[in-house]
Amino acid sequence: MADRTELLEAALDSLSEGIALVDTEGKIVFWNRAADAITGYTSAELLSRYVPDPLEPLLLPCTGLGIQDAGAEAQTGRGVVVRAQHKLGHKVPAIARKLTLRDGLGGRIGTAIVFHPTESLDALPHGECEDSRIEASQTEFEDRLGAVFEDFLQGGESFGVLWITVDQAHDLRKTHGSGACDAMLEKVEHALANGLRPAEEMGRWGDDEYLILSHERTPEMLAAHAQALADLARTADFRWWGDRVSITVSIGAAQAEREGSLVDLLEKAKAAMFSSFQAGGNRITSAPGGQACSPS
C-alpha cells in the first residue's frame, strides 16, 4: 500500500498547475509534472538544488515578503504576474502565488509556489494562417527551432532566421482567388529552396510567409544571403491565364543572441520583415533597427 508521501506526490502530479516546494535554505524539494511542462525543466534537473537564474522571477519573488524582482510585473487577486525564462530561452508569462509551510508547532519549514501560465504562454510569433495543414507544419518547425536555440545557448554554432513574405500574395488572392495564390507560392517556395545552403531549413510560417533557419555566422553574412534569396524569388516565372505576374519578397533578417530568447529573435525578424514590406516591398531589413534596402 502506498504511504502518505507517495499519495501526496501523486495528487500534486495530477494537477494542471505547476507546484514547486522550496525548503528554508532555498532548495527545490518537489517539482510536479505541470511545472516541468510549463518551464521545460524536469524534476531530475532541479531537485535538491537552488533555484536556477532563469526561474528566479517565477519562484524567488514569491518566497520573500513581497515582490522582489523586476520579473514580477503586477499583483492580482490570484497571485503575482511574472515572466520567467523557459529552458528553451523564450519568456514564460505566469501567475504565481505562495503558501508558507509550517510544522505542527508553527515553525516555517518551507514554501509552496503554485503557478499557471497566462494566455500568452509559449506563444511564438507566426504569420496569419487559416490553413490547418500549414499550422501542423509550423508545430514541427517550432520544435526544430527550439532544439537549435537550446543547442546555441549551450555553446552551439551561431544561427539566424529569415522571415519572408511574398509581396503580391494578398492582392493576388483577393483578385484571382486562393488557387492562383497557392500556385504562385509554390513557384516562390521552389525558387527559395534552390538557394538554401545544405544545412538550412525552410518552413511555411503563415499563409503567405516563410521562415528560414540559417547558420550564417554574422548579421552581415545573413543579410547577404537574404539578398541572394530575394534575387532568386524574382526569377520565379509565374503566369496566370497567360499573364506573367512579377514576384518580389520582403525579408526580415535577425541573428540569434545568447542574452535573448527565441521569441525575441522571431519578433525582431517579424518587425524587420514588416519594415521591408511597408517600405514598398522587394527589400531586406536586418534587425534590430536596420535600414530597409532594395535588392541589387
Residues 194 and 166 in one domain: yes
At residue 76 the predicted structure's pLDDT band, cuts being 50, 70 and 90, is very low
Based on the fold, state whether residues 109 and 141 are members of the same structural domain. no
181 shares a domain with 71 = no
Task: Find the range with the poorest average confidence among 18-27, 69-78, 188-197, 269-278.
Answer: 69-78
Q: How would you classify the pairing of strands 249-255 and 284-286?
A: parallel
Contact 284, 251 (CB under 8 A): yes
pLDDT range class, residue 79, cuts 50, 70, 90: low
Q: Per-residue pLDDT averaged across 147-154, rounded? A: 88
Q: What are the tens digits of pLDDT across the range 201-216?
A: 999 998 899 999 999 9
Between residues 129 and 19, which one has the greater pLDDT?
Answer: 19
How many CA atoms within 13 Å lie on the side-chain side of 60? 16
Radius of gyration of the chain (CA): 24
Instruction: Examine the domain organization and report whether 179 and 273 are in the same domain.
Output: yes
Is residue 293 scored above 60 in pLDDT?
A: no
Q: Which DSSP category does 160 fall into?
A: E
In a domain, 48, yes or no: yes
For residue 127, being part of any structural domain is answered with no
Of 117, 147, 172, the domain-final residue: 117
Q: Does residue 33 share a domain with residue 153?
A: no
Mean pLDDT value across residues 281-292: 77
End-to-end Cα distance, the chain: 75
Residue 108 sits in the same domain as residue 158? no
% of the chain at pLDDT higher than 70:
88
pLDDT on residue 236? 87
- Which of 117-121, 127-131, 150-154 is least confident? 117-121
Establish if 42 belongs to a structural domain: yes
Identify whether residues 151 and 100 lie together within a single domain: no
pLDDT averaged over every residue in the chain: 84
123 belongs to a structural domain: no
Per-residue confidence (pLDDT) for residue 129, from 0 to 100? 74
Is residue 87 domain-resident?
A: yes
| CA distance to 22, 82, 113, 248, 271, per residue, from 100 (Å) | 10, 19, 9, 60, 44
Confidence band of 266 (pLDDT split at 50, 70, 90): very high
- 95, 39: one domain: yes
Instruction: Let me know if residue 291 belongs to a domain.
Output: no
Confidence of residue 69 (pLDDT cuts 50, 70, 90): very low
The number of beta carbons lying within 10 Å of the beta carbon of residue 4 is 7
Q: Where does a domain end: 117, 150, 177?
A: 117
Among the listed residues 136, 115, 114, the one whose alpha carbon sits nearest the alpha carbon of residue 126:
136
Can you give the CATH number for the domain in which 265 is found? Answer: 3.30.70.270
The residue from 88, 117, 146 where one domain ends is: 117
Count how many domains the chain has. 2
Indicate the range of 24-38, 91-105, 175-189 predicted with least confidence.
91-105
The string of pLDDT tens digits covering residues 158-185 is: 999 999 999 999 899 888 888 999 999 9
Lowest mean pLDDT among 42-56, 84-98, 271-285: 84-98
How far apart, in whole angstroms, are the C-alpha atoms of residue 296 and residue 294?
6
Under a CB-based contact definition with an 8 Å cutoff, are residues 233 and 192 in contact? yes
Q: How confident is the model at residue 194 (pLDDT cuts 50, 70, 90)?
A: very high
Full residue range of the structural domain in which residue 21 is found: 4-117
Rounded Cα distance between 185 and 156, Å, is 33
Q: Indicate whether 73 and 145 sit together in one domain.
A: no
From the CB of residue 289, how many other CB atoms can be counted at a distance below 10 Å? 10
Please tell me the least confidently modeled range out of 10-14, 38-42, 87-91, 259-263.
87-91
The pLDDT of residue 295 is 54
Q: Is residue 137 part of a domain?
A: yes
CA distance linking residue 214 with residue 269, whole number of Å: 13
The per-residue pLDDT for 210 is 96
Residues 97 and 40 grouped into a single domain: yes
Residues 69 and 156 in one domain: no
Distance of CA 45 to the CA centre of its chain: 22
Eight-state DSSP code of residue 293 = B
Share of the chain above pLDDT 90, in %: 45
Q: Which parts of 196-261 fold into alpha helices (H)?
A: 219-234
Is residue 29 situated within a structural domain? yes
Looking at the structure, tell me whether residues 216 and 70 fall in a common domain.
Answer: no
Q: What is the CATH number of the domain that holds 63?
A: 3.30.450.20
The confidence band for 92, taking pLDDT boundaries of 50, 70 and 90, is confident
Give the start-end residues of each E strand in the chain.
18-23, 27-31, 49-50, 72-76, 79-85, 91-102, 108-117, 160-166, 201-204, 209-214, 238-240, 243-245, 249-255, 284-286
- Which of 12-26, 74-88, 98-112 is the least confident region? 74-88
